[in-house]
Amino acid sequence: MIAARMLAAACALAGAFAPASLCAQAARTKASVPAAITLAIVNARVWTGDVAQPWAEGVAVAGDRIVIVGTSAAVKAQAPASAHIIDAKGALVTPGFIDAHVHFLDGGRALESVQLRDAGTRAEFIKRIAAHAKRSLKGAWITNGDWDHQLWGGELPQRSWIDSVTPDNPVWINRLDGHMSLANSATLKIAKVDKTARDVAGGTIVRDAKGELTGVFKDNAMGLVDRAVPARTDAQWDRTLDTAMKYVAERGVTTVRHVGEGDVTSWTGVNTIRRAHDQHRLTTRVIAYTPLAKWQRLRDEVAKNGRGDDWFRLDGLKGFVDGSLGSHTAAMVAPFSDTPKDSGFYVTPPESLYAWTKGADAAGLHVTVHAIGDRAIRTQLDVYERVAKENGPKDRRFAIEHAQHVAPGDFARFAKLGVVASMQPYHAIDDGRWADKVIGAERAKGTYAFKSFIDAGATLAFGSDWFVAPPTPLEGLQAAVTRRTLDGKNPGGWVPSQKITLEQALTAYTKGAAYVAFMDTKVGILKAGMLADIVVLDRDLFKVAPEKIADAKVRATIVGGRVVYERPAR
């Protein structure tokens, strides 16, 4: 090795006068000698995601890069005594999980607030809010919550339920899908919203039989109250980001596509993440998206400050076509089965989606759009097709977020147009409890249709939609493979024809998610030269029953060669 280094140094000094054959030999020798290994994983069953070498036994890391993927013997032979050695003991090692759809700051903030996701009755809903209010300072806002009215039969909550237990605290708590929220009377007073409020395009103000406000606002109507919520300090946002990063690291997530919140808070989130990046505090890679409606702001930001680096990148825009199925605000071709006069609505007019998408695409920005209903999905596919024709060919990787309820003829269009289906498997086992009632069994065949997308040749990218669903890839993998609903009523799987294999699901959580984030040359597979983003599990998922996948635990999460989470020894 010393001789090789001397020869390389001589070639560098001699420059153009050095013998070509000797310098070529030096270059080959130098390339064959890896840098000092700092971390090594051995005795593993390594699923690499690399079609050229799907399986291995060990991985060696030097700095932030993978330098060896091969046998345990090969890794051990090169690893110095100073290297951090992880003995996987036969368990599965995979590329770091990439969550292709999170609301990262909202997810962290939800961990800090009242927990309503599994409140199964009206009484429990009220009890938890009362308890949280009792612990809160007088005047402090109670937000987030993630309630699910389907758990208690589908009746929407009302402010009258909680006014008596929250006399000193404004309440503005969202349904778990983020498409409707409940305000108590204190909040409506602060927001100066009463029964005289006018309806909002692309939203709904829910009223009772007498025309009084129930406190529930849907989609665009939520803006009437959102504007009254006080701004948080930078220090509060910093703590929220730290909470979010720690939480996902414990679950094996190494990269997220942060698809933002509202027009204001999305930029607050960007500034929070950038601040952590500049202070070298990031332990999760973040690809950030801001509102499509204000695409010019991102264009100008990128022109001024660039797109970022491998830890934090800002070059994407997220729009909305419609709302959600649970809120009956998804735009459907035919009416909902349980409300035959209602077929949902567009949150954004199609002509605006077209204008914004065309402008953003022409500016070289990445566009992804939320579309739930079959009418919404078809509308956005039409927009993408038109923009691609008018702006000309390039690597644009348009995506549709959720892509939940797809008409049979539209799966092939995703593949033809190169549109990525960015989906969340956990939603299938959650919504599968009640979706048949809302859209009927026949339309449900095209709902969360993972296999139909794969069969059509489309690219799948998996994520969680956290805060809406838990950011736990192991639960997502199990959901995609089994489709067993959370209520236990579909042991063979809800729409079982849409089950996919574990390897297909892993690919969507790694390579597919890296692709939609334009990170596929950096992360998503385990291969020499790639960034060392790795997950070590406590068992081999390929050897456990599919319904036991989510029982596995993350032993270690590695981002850029650094162990950001290691499970304490039991």
Residues 59 and 169 in one domain: no
- pLDDT, tens digit (0-9, with 9 covering 90-100), for 299-344: 999 999 999 999 999 989 999 999 999 889 999 999 999 999 999 9
Give the per-residue pLDDT at 469.
Answer: 93
CATH number of the domain enclosing 566: 2.30.40.10
Domain of 20, in residue numbers: 1-33
The whole-number average pLDDT for the span 12-18 is 38
Between 224-228, 231-235, 350-354, the lowest mean confidence (pLDDT) is in: 231-235
| Residue 325 forms part of a structural domain | no
> What are the tens digits of pLDDT across the range 489-523?
999 999 999 999 999 999 999 999 999 999 999 99
Last residue of a domain, one of 226, 246, 276: 226
Domain end (from 226, 258, 285):
226
What does the pLDDT look like over 375-400, one tens digit per residue?
999 999 999 999 999 999 999 999 99
- Residue 472 in tokens: 């736990």
User: Where is the domain boundary, 195, 226, 257?
Assistant: 226
My answer on whether 68 and 149 are in the same domain is no
Compute CA distances 535 → 101, 167, 406, 426, 532, whole Å: 19, 47, 33, 20, 10
Across the range 127-140, mean pLDDT stands at 94
Q: Is residue 130 part of a domain?
A: yes
- Regarding whether 82 and 143 lie in a shared domain, the answer is no
Residue labelled with tokens 């459907």? 332
Does some domain include residue 159?
yes
The predicted model gives 398-423 an average pLDDT of: 97
- Do 158 and 54 lie in a common domain? no
Note whether residue 544 is domain-resident.
yes
Place of tokens 């890679």: 285
pTM for the predicted model, two decimal places: 0.84
Q: How confident is the model at residue 262 (pLDDT cuts 50, 70, 90)?
A: low
At residue 277, the pLDDT reads: 98
Q: How confident is the model at residue 178 (pLDDT cuts 50, 70, 90)?
A: confident
**Residues 90 and 184 grouped into a single domain:** no
Q: How far apart are CA 284 and CA 102, in angstroms?
A: 12
Instruction: List pLDDT tens digits, range 62-78.
Output: 999 999 999 999 999 99
Same domain, 92 and 61: yes
pLDDT above 50: residue 18:
no
Residue 410: predicted pLDDT: 97
Do 54 and 148 sit in the same domain of this protein?
Answer: no
Q: What is the mean pLDDT of the chain?
A: 92
The yes-or-no verdict on residue 355 having pLDDT over 50 is yes
Q: What is the DSSP string of 246-271?
A: HHHHTTTEEEEEE---SHHHHHHHHH
Domain presence at residue 270: no
Q: Show Cβ contacts of residue 190 under 8 Å, excluding neighbours closer than 6 positions.
A: 170, 228
Residue 203 domain-assigned?
yes
Q: Is residue 472 part of a domain?
A: no
Residue with the bigger pLDDT between 565 and 468: it is 565
Burial, 394: exposed, middle or buried (Cβ in 10 Å; 0-12, 13-18, 19+)? exposed
The residue with greater pLDDT, 28 or 340, is 340
Q: What's the total number of domains in the chain?
A: 3
Q: How far apart are CA 118 and CA 56, in angstroms?
A: 41
Confidence of residue 465 (pLDDT cuts 50, 70, 90): very high
Q: Are residues 29 and 45 in the same domain?
A: no
184 and 129 inside one domain:
yes
Task: Kindly give the interhelix angle for 263-278 and 234-249, rounded to the nearest 10 degrees.
Answer: 80
Assess if residue 45 is contained within a domain.
yes
Element (DSSP H or E) covering residue 562:
strand 562-566
Collapsed DSSP state (helix, strand, coil) of residue 494: coil
At residue 266, the pLDDT reads 86
Q: pLDDT at position 22, please?
A: 39
Do 548 and 562 lie in one domain? The reply is: yes
* 113 and 85 share one domain: no
Please tell me whether residues 202 and 217 are part of one structural domain.
yes
State mean pLDDT over 272-282. Answer: 97
In this predicted structure, what is the pLDDT of residue 364? 97
The string of DSSP letters for 267-336 reads: HHHHHHHHHHHHTT---SEEEEEEEGGGHHHHHHHHHHH-SB-SSEEEEEEEEES---TTTT-S--SS--
- What integer is the mean pLDDT of 529-533? 98
pLDDT at 13 over 60: no
Provide the 3-class DSSP secondary structure of residue 459. Answer: coil
Predicted confidence at residue 232, as pLDDT, reads 86
